[in-house]
Structure 1
């Protein structure tokens, strides 16, 4: 029996890239006998409603876009029996990279048509389901810079945003509580990772698995700014975890907060900035059924 798909697209964010990826894919799906409905959202809240409505009708829901849109659509389906398909069409596509989704349109179409859903973990961040990671520190500030830029695109936006964030950064004093155990750290960032990748392919948590029921907690501690720039380069292959300034821990529930009175920092999740610290991230084991290799 052919599948029926509802593609949820945000035309306001990377709309041309989403269309360029979706149009040939939808053509292949329809030629194979599948029905494809395309819904254009007005924003993330509308996308959530569209995804849940399509799932209620028994459709496979396609999140079309970058990590923000995919995280929103996937988060809307987490904890249900609905099936998610991912059509990577954003700047980062980090959760798609973690899942090993094919880049070729023909291979992705075959996966969506014939693949069996597999259970993967999600994260509940201050009560909101997300997919890839929750992070607080210089990376969240860099994320904000990248989202606001109108000059640079793709990886250049992340790189320039990160450099701007580093130049203006002063070490933050964190309290990180992992399954009840408290860790005090001063430094650059704390990441609670379900996916090993974030920030346009940076391998922040190289040993993270999206189906092990655990979050990898990466803490980049205090160091010279010049050294942190070197760490940024090492994020490409994950070799940063060998540095003494980097601590990697694991747990099911992670709370990240600041201990400095009066200081405020944003936290990020799936390329979006939902709010400011503190944030509590809890793993949701096997909460999402996704079409992936």
Structure 2
């Protein structure tokens, strides 16, 4: 392979999962005759900078969690580099939705069978945090109960993998009582008391929560799902059902699609993108259609058919 190959790895994602898989991934690349430059990323900003430096002809393999993959995706969309996400985090929702499997070495072994697609990139801007200058993402932007659960889950010291968010959700049931949101989708405004609002690109987060199960990365739009009104019991029922993607028919659950979103609340709620806190509401989210070249499995759930 004549193009430059950059392998980004997060030493800390998933309790070191990426670091442990690194040797096997490099060996599989060598078996394909591919020499790669390995970089252990110090931060999401560092990962993005390395992708930009690799140039437009690079193949970038991102071995880490959804946050690292999202940072690499945003930079690759700028340069035109080709991205291959590899499972190296706790939830690995992007890898799941892209049909790539949870064994990163096995994914590289199947490299000749993977397919290149053009993916949309969601773009969020907040007034503070890492998204203050704008940040791209592939998965889900979540705030409200989801964000509180994420924060409490991340505070858990035990290595629980995809169950981390579930534990955080149980704790959030006793600490969060909702917020008054104002949501605008392509000029259509909705306001009221709600529990969470999630704006999705590929539609899955939290280690398997299919919050927007019909979302696609190549349809030129984003999808929003919110829970408006109801009790704590309804929140729990909705989120448990979301693991199977069967929650959209619940009372109070509303969904919409569009290209431009504005979201604010009556309290300074944290905004989470693919498990990483990126700022505080208010936030502006838009879609950048087909700006990212990405490799997926042949039966990727987040890729439209035809």
Q: Which bin holds the TM-score, normalised by the shorter protein? A: over 0.9
Matching residue of 2:269 = 265
Deviation at 1:253, TM superposition (A): 0.8
Once the two structures are superposed, what CA deviation does each residue of 1:208-238 show, in whole Å capped at 9, x if it has no partner?
1111011111011111112211112101111
Q: Work out whether residues 55 and 61 of structure 1, in 8 Å CA contact, stay in contact via their aligned partners in 2.
A: no
**Aligned pair partner of 1:291 in 292, 295, 298:** 295
Once the two structures are superposed, what CA deviation does each residue of 1:63-89 show, in whole Å capped at 9, x if it has no partner?
111111111111121243111111111
Measured at CA, do residues 7 and 204 of structure 1 come closer, stay the same or move farther in structure 2, by a change above 3 Å?
same
Matching residue of 2:123 = 124
Give 5+ residue unaligned stretches, structure 1.
none
Deviation at 1:267, TM superposition (A): 0.7
Measured at CA, do residues 10 and 103 of structure 1 come closer, stay the same or move farther in structure 2, by a change above 3 Å?
closer
Once the two structures are superposed, what CA deviation does each residue of 1:167-214 show, in whole Å capped at 9, x if it has no partner?
111121100000011111311101110112111111100111111011
Q: How does 1:23-42 map onto structure 2 within 5 Å?
A: 23-42=23-42
Once the two structures are superposed, what CA deviation does each residue of 1:232-272 show, in whole Å capped at 9, x if it has no partner?
210111111011210011100111101x2xx2100111111
Q: Work out whether residues 10 and 19 of structure 2, in 8 Å CA contact, stay in contact via their aligned partners in 1.
A: no
Once the two structures are superposed, what CA deviation does each residue of 1:46-73 show, in whole Å capped at 9, x if it has no partner?
11111211235x3211111111111111
Q: Work out whether residues 80 and 288 of structure 1, in 8 Å CA contact, stay in contact via their aligned partners in 2.
A: no
RMSD (Å), alpha carbons: 1.7
Partner secondary structure for residue 248 of structure 1: strand
Matching residue of 2:161 = 154
Deviation at 1:130, TM superposition (A): 1.5
Measured at CA, do residues 269 and 59 of structure 1 come closer, stay the same or move farther in structure 2, by a change above 3 Å?
same
Once the two structures are superposed, what CA deviation does each residue of 1:146-182 show, in whole Å capped at 9, x if it has no partner?
2222134212321111111121111211000000111
**TM-score, L = length of structure 2:** 0.89
Once the two structures are superposed, what CA deviation does each residue of 1:1-24 show, in whole Å capped at 9, x if it has no partner?
455421111213336310232321
CA distance in 1, matches of 2:99, 2:135: 25
Matching residue of 2:281 = 277
Q: Work out whether residues 67 and 95 of structure 1, in 8 Å CA contact, stay in contact via their aligned partners in 2.
A: yes
Partner secondary structure for residue 62 of structure 1: strand
CA distance in 1, matches of 2:78, 2:110: 22
Give 5+ residue unaligned stretches, structure 2.
126-133, 298-306
Matching residue of 1:202 = 209
Q: Aligned pairs, how many? A: 289
CA distance in 1, matches of 2:80, 2:182: 36
Q: Work out whether residues 267 and 274 of structure 1, in 8 Å CA contact, stay in contact via their aligned partners in 2.
A: yes
Measured at CA, do residues 171 and 102 of structure 1 come closer, stay the same or move farther in structure 2, by a change above 3 Å?
closer
CA distance in 2, matches of 1:105, 1:73: 17
Report whether the alignment pairs 1:84 with 2:88. Answer: no
Matching residue of 1:68 = 67
